[in-house]
């Protein structure tokens, strides 16, 4: 299935906040006609009103896709609007953290094709990465369609099963915050070495953005990119001897942080 099927049969978007807006922007840019999209959103932005999509109108009987982009705590109140589309051919795609496929099956019917995804906020600049998994009713066709939809805002990886979603959340879902904190920590360290707060922040931020862009574009592995900028006995090597320390460095710290996020994801999913 492609965006052509979606253009023909329609797409329903439940919730058009930050992530819903990012996705809709990507789909419209990829050529999905606004007339093929139905959005349910209690507080539409001026941008959304101007897109020309069907806004808070009656839904088509059998759209190709219903994409659920409300906060998990709003799910119970929001899902009944889509219940009539359950147990049929409409593919449900959820981007909500913490709501399991089983919970969707319980709400919509256990013959509903469902793909659960975990995107991240760089989707807002078309540079997201999304992990996806499906129930048996969605199958390969459902995964392909969900992949096409999520690729409008970045890359997609297919998971071995829903049990990997908490790990994806812990690495890439929550990951942008780790990188933002890296900027803060580098800037604070720069201040401690005598830079003004403004200059330290400018250096740290531009360095993370620039290194991210290099990692995005370069064919080399992250390890090779690191080696390429590390002269033996030089300044970078001096810093990395701390950062790469097996007991006190970044690897064990990151391991603990990611584990805490994954455990929290499991708790929230209960
Ligand atoms: N942000 C992330 O990093 C991230 C990453 C991965 C997954 N997600 C998931 O993506 C989902 C959306 O997150 P977000 O950051 O885009 O949240 P958000 O900006 O709060 O967007 C949710 C939208 O849904 C609307 N809504 C609330 N109740 C509704 C209802 N009954 N019917 C229709 N729409 C309703 C909200 O309107 P109001 O503003 O009026 O409440 C809001 O505009 C969440 O489930 C989250 O877990 C987010």
pLDDT score of 20: 97
Q: What is the mean pLDDT of the chain?
A: 96
Any atom of ligand 1 within 6 Å of the Cβ of 121: yes
**8 Å CB contact between 91 and 64:** yes
The ranges of the chain with pLDDT < 70 are 1
pLDDT score of 129: 98
Distance 182 CA to ligand 1 centre (A): 26
Of all atoms in ligand 1, which is nearest to the CA of residue 97? Answer: 47
pLDDT score of 124: 93
Any atom of ligand 1 within 6 Å of the Cβ of 16: yes
Distance 18 CA to ligand 1 centre (A): 7
Any atom of ligand 1 within 6 Å of the Cβ of 37: no
Closest Cα to residue 264, out of 160, 169, 132, 122?
169
Nearest CA to ligand 1 atom 9: 96
Longest pairwise C-alpha distance within the chain: 68
pLDDT score of 264: 93
pLDDT score of 72: 87
Alpha-helical segments (H) within 109-233: 139-150, 165-168, 175-192, 197-217, 222-228
> Kind of pairing, strands 128-134 and 37-40?
unpaired
Nearest CA to ligand 1 atom 5: 120
pLDDT score of 240: 98
Any atom of ligand 1 within 6 Å of the Cβ of 15: yes
Instruction: Give the span between the Cα atoms of 138 and 198, in whole angstroms.
Output: 51
Nearest CA to ligand 1 atom 38: 43
Instruction: Give the span between the Cα atoms of 83 and 50, in whole angstroms.
Output: 28
Nearest CA to ligand 1 atom 1: 121
pLDDT score of 269: 78
Q: What is the pLDDT of residues 116-155, one digit of tens each?
A: 999 999 999 999 999 999 999 999 999 999 999 999 999 9
Any atom of ligand 1 within 6 Å of the Cβ of 134: no
Enter the tokens of residue 110.
């256990």
pLDDT score of 116: 97
Of all atoms in ligand 1, which is nearest to the CA of residue 169? Answer: 6
Distance 1 CA to ligand 1 centre (A): 26
Any atom of ligand 1 within 6 Å of the Cβ of 20: yes
> Kind of pairing, strands 114-118 and 128-134?
antiparallel
Q: Which of 13, 70, 118, when mutated, tests ligand 1's pocket best, judged by the most ligand atoms within 8 Å of its CB?
A: 70
Distance 14 CA to ligand 1 centre (A): 9
């Amino acid at each position: 299935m492609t965006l052509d099927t979606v253009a023909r049969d329609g797409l329903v978007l439940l919730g058009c906040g930050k992530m819903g807006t990012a996705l809709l922007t990507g789909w419209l840019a990829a050529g999905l006609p606004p007339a093929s999209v139905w959005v349910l959103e209690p507080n539409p932005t001026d941008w959304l009103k101007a897109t020309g999509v069907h806004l808070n109108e009656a839904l088509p009987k059998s759209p190709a896709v219903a994409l659920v982009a409300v906060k998990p705590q709003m799910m119970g109140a929001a899902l009944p609007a889509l219940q009539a589309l359950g147990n049929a051919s409409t593919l449900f795609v959820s981007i909500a953290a913490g709501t399991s496929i089983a919970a969707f099956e319980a709400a919509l019917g256990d013959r509903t094709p469902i793909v659960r995804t975990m995107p991240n906020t760089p989707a807002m600049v078309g540079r997201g990465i999304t992990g996806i998994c499906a129930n048996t009713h969605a199958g390969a066709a459902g995964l392909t369609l969900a992949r096409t939809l999520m690729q409008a805002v970045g890359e997609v990886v297919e998971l071995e099963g829903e049990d990997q979603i908490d790990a994806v959340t812990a690495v890439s879902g929550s990951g942008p915050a780790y990188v933002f904190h890296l900027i803060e920590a580098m800037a604070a360290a720069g201040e401690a070495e005598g830079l003004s707060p403004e200059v330290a922040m400018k250096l740290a931020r531009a360095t993370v953005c620039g290194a991210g862009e290099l990692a995005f574009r370069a064919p080399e592995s992250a390890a090779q990119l690191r080696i390429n900028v590390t002269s033996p006995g030089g300044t970078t090597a001096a810093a990395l001897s701390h950062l790469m320390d097996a007991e006190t460095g970044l690897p064990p710290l990151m391991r603990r942080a990611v584990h805490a996020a994954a455990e929290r994801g499991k708790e929230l999913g209960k």
